[in-house]
Amino acid sequence: MTGAPLVLIDHDRGVVGDDTRQALAFARACFPDLPIAAVVIGREQTEPIAGADTTFHIRHTALVDYAPEAWGDALHELAVAQSPGAIVATGTERGNEVLAHVAAIADQPFASNVIEAVAGASGTPWQIRRLRWGGSLLEDATLDATLPIMSCALHVFPNEISGGPPNADTPVVEFVPTLGPDAGRTRIVDRVRVAEGITLTTAPVVVSGGRGVGSEEGFAAIEALAELLGAAVGCSRVVTNQGWRPHADQVGQTGKRVAPDLYIACGISGAIQHWVGMQAAKNVLAINTDPDAPMVTKADYAVIGDLHEIVPAIVAEIRRRRT
């Protein structure tokens, strides 16, 4: 009999990112008639995960901090014990890394960045659709596996699922794996913070500049606006290619994925490779001289004009209102 699908809830020292809960909604979409089991690995103790019918808590001394092989090994052991209908996670770095280890141990295929998955009739492959090439390509594929292992693409499913069981009513089931001798080969031994304060991927507002900014110095106005808004500064690839900003600031297919409440795109045309990096933004404001630029036509709000006039004008107006 097929057991409840296992949903990995990845976390960093107990802090569960909102993104990681998207896999719960993905699992419900795949298995509308089955209960859903969340899996929390490590931590001293865990609360029931909201939206899941059961929460498995996997504990072991090798699981105190993140260790991808050990997490994969532990999740695989739980799967052997539970015979789940599938193992899923959100396609975060950790989600994909752990599921890749599970798949290797289980000798099963792993499909990452899935946006739709439909189970085949008994014994036939799953039909899946997934994002490829940084989101610029949709791929329809079949997944022929005795144990489907899938991550869902980030920001496709909601963080919160409606209709799940109330938090306090769901059980937490302890599971202690044995773990193989190699499980602890890769583990965190130290952490060095490379960015203080607001980061591009967590900032509620991102002010981003493209070729239209014109120079490294041109970013002074972008930075001033970002500071006033408590925002992070982002940029397009043209900007990093020109050496105006570091690659760490680049948004897009070959840069960072951001999902702020507001993304302000200054002098960015909106090429698909940039768009895939910020398409999860809740609101987009484009500042551009070209009313037909894709960024302008797709944006929620647009100001048509020269950013070298508009951005300083916004900065001056905000300062005026705050004094």
Ligand X SMILES: Cc1cc2nc3c(=O)[nH]c(=O)nc-3n(C[C@H](O)[C@H](O)[C@H](O)COP(=O)(O)OP(=O)(O)OC[C@H]3O[C@@H](n4cnc5c(N)ncnc54)[C@H](O)[C@@H]3O)c2cc1C
- Using CB under 6 A as the criterion, which residues of the chain lie in contact with ligand X when the complex forms? 210-212, 236-238, 250-255, 267-269, 271, 273-274, 277, 287-290, 293, 306-308
Angle made by CA atoms 67, 71, 72, in degrees to the nearest 5: 120
Q: Which is nearer to ligand X, 161 or 268 (CB)?
A: 268
What is the nearest approach in angstroms of ligand X to the Cβ of residue 251?
A: 6
Amino acid identity for residue 107 in this structure: D
Smallest separation (angstroms) from ligand X to the CB of 288: 4
**115 contact partners, CB below 8 Å, separation of at least 6:** 129, 130, 131, 138, 152, 153, 156
Name 47's Cβ contacts closer than 8 Å, sequence gap at least 6: 55, 167, 172
Pick 103 or 238: Cβ nearer ligand X = 238
The answer to whether the beta carbons of residues 108 and 80 sit under 8 Å apart is: no
Whole-number minimum distance, CB 250 to ligand X, in Å? 6
Between 115 and 268, CB nearer to ligand X: 268
- Is residue 263 a contact partner of residue 208, using CB atoms and an 8 Å limit? yes
Spatial contact of 184 and 62, defined as CB atoms under 8 Å apart: yes
CB of 290 to ligand X, least distance (A): 3
Answer whether 92's CB lies under 8 Å from 142's CB.
no
Please report how close the Cβ of residue 39 comes to ligand X at its closest, in angstroms.
33
Q: For ligand X, which residue has the nearest CB?
A: 252
**Smallest distance, Å, CB 299 to ligand X?**
12
Name the CA dihedral angle for 29, 31, 35, 36, rounded to a multiple of 10 degrees. Answer: -60
Q: What is the rounded distance in angstroms from the CA atom of residue 136 to the CA atom of residue 126?
A: 23
Q: How far is the CB of 13 from ligand X (least distance, A)?
A: 30
Nearer to ligand X, 116 or 290 (CB): 290
Structure tokens at 108: 């099963």
Quick one: angle between helices 307-322 and 219-229, nearest 10?
30
Residue 232 near residue 199 (C-beta atoms within 8 A): yes
Shortest Å distance, C-beta 50 to ligand X: 34
Q: Which is nearer to ligand X, 167 or 241 (CB)?
A: 241
Shortest separation between residue 269's beta carbon and ligand X, angstroms = 3
Compute the distance between CA of residue 100 and CA of residue 71 in angstroms, rounded to an integer: 11
Strands 111-118 and 126-132: antiparallel
Task: Give the whole-angstrom CA distance, residue 48 versus residue 55.
Answer: 6
Which of 25, 276 has the CB closer to ligand X?
276
Q: Among residues 67 and 285, whose Cβ is nearest to ligand X? A: 285
**Cβ-based nearer residue to ligand X, 152 or 239:** 239
* Choice between 26 and 244, CB closer to ligand X: 244
Angle at 155 between CA 254 and CA 251, to 5 degrees: 25
